[in-house]
Structure 1
Amino acid sequence: MSEENNIPSNAPVFQIQRMYLKDLSLEQPNAPQILLEQTQPQVDINLALSAEPVAEGVFEVCVTGTVTTKVGERTLFLIEAKQAGIFEIRNVPQEQVEGILGIVCPQMIYPYLRAIVSDVCTRAGFPPVLLTEVNFQAMFEAQQAQREAAASPTLN
């Protein structure tokens, strides 16, 4: 046991070390001509998750949001933002670590990503794009089911 706080040395640990903006880009490849058009743009939003070990019991989790806005076939603007966090996870069973990295950490990071995307849109002179809420647990469970389906042999 640790003398300082009476927490056993093998107690489960989960804590945020740091949140940060890892990457951000804004492109307006058809400006300024496309800015004069009055057509309603189509907005396409994609999310991606990644989790990488950084050190023993320390992981970097990234949530990447890509917003592509087009008028017809031409891009009005494209934003890609990668919000990341460094998390310490120790003395937790491996099957629970996967859930923490795939559900809990992205849930903590995502509000920062939403704010950044909205702010960049506004600063670029466009109405804010508000990313919808995401059910990371449902995403994680769907990915698990896909992995299990891919791993199981199919009968013909």
Structure 2
Amino acid sequence: MAETNGADTAQQPQAPKMNVLAQFIRDLSFENILSTKGVSGEVTPDVQVQVNLDAKKRPADNQYEVVMKLKVESKAKDSGAHLFVLELEYAGVFHIENVPEEQLHPFLLIECPRMLFPFVRRIVSDVSRDGGFPPLNLETIDFLALYRNELQRRQAAQQSETPPVAQA
């Protein structure tokens, strides 16, 4: 009976495994532009957030590095004057096993950033508060939608670069 159970488990695909080995701030910049310009009165901010993701294989087996690059710009709604600019590159090193090769790219750019995001949110909140502004709580980012949008953008770029086929 024990031999049959062993054969059954060998045929079943193993569940994906992910471990976060490290996470760290690769680069951080905060410019409090408001303090140098001395804007007076009540200011209603308009906050723009740009997110870029990057993933690469590391030399060790099954290890990948995922970097989330965030640029947060806050401007006054009425005048358009910059209040602050925050740039953050936050990286995570992941050990990933049992993910099929065709699913690895989306896994790295969707699931890994989901793991990093709460820490990024906290850093942005703390830095904006320590920079003299109310803490900025980032809304949850839909990494699946971000991934799909990037795929569509790349497909559109490839189609526009393809020269038209000449007809005889």
Above 0.5 in TM-score? Answer: yes
Candidates 101, 110, 123, aligned match of 1:116: 123
Question: Following TM superposition, by how much is the alpha carbon of 1:143 offset from its aligned partner in structure 2, in angstroms?
Answer: 2.2
Unaligned runs of 5+ in 1: 1-7
**Matching residue of 2:65:** 60
Residue of structure 2 in register with 1:131 after alignment: 138
- Contact 1:34-1:76 within 8 A present in 2 as well: no
**Residue 68 of structure 1 aligns to which amino acid in structure 2?**
E
Is 2:107 the partner of 1:103? no
Deviation at 1:155, TM superposition (A): 7.8
What is the percent sequence identity of the aligned residues?
Answer: 32
1:70 Cα deviation (Å)? 1.7
Distance 2:62 2:20 in 1: 12
What is the Cα deviation at residue 30 of structure 1?
Answer: 4.6
User: Deviation at 1:54?
Assistant: 2.0
Q: Which amino acid aligns with 1:82?
A: E
1:143 to 150, 153, 162: 150
Cα distance between partner residues in 2 of 1:124 and 1:74: 17
Match of 1:77 in 2: 84
Q: What are the Cα deviations for residues 12-51 of structure 1, in whole angstroms up to 9, with x where unaligned? A: 5432111112111111235244353422222111111111
Unaligned residue ranges in structure 2 (runs of 5+): 1-9
**What is the CA RMSD across the aligned residues, in angstroms?**
2.7
Taking the aligned partners of 2:84 and 2:33, their CA distance within structure 1 comes to 7
Q: Which amino acid aligns with 2:140?
A: E
Residue 35 of structure 2 aligns to a residue whose secondary structure is coil
62-71 vs 103-112, greater mean Cα deviation? 62-71
Larger radius of gyration: 2
Amino acid aligned to 1:76:
L
- Partner in structure 2 of residue 29 of structure 1: 33
Cα distance in structure 1, aligned partners of 2:157 and 2:70:
26
- How far does residue 121 in structure 1 lie from its aligned partner after superposition? 0.9
Equivalent position amino acid for 2:67 in 1? C
Q: Which has the higher helix share?
A: 2
- Letter of the 2:147 counterpart: F
- Structure 1 contact 82–113 (Cα < 8 Å) conserved: no
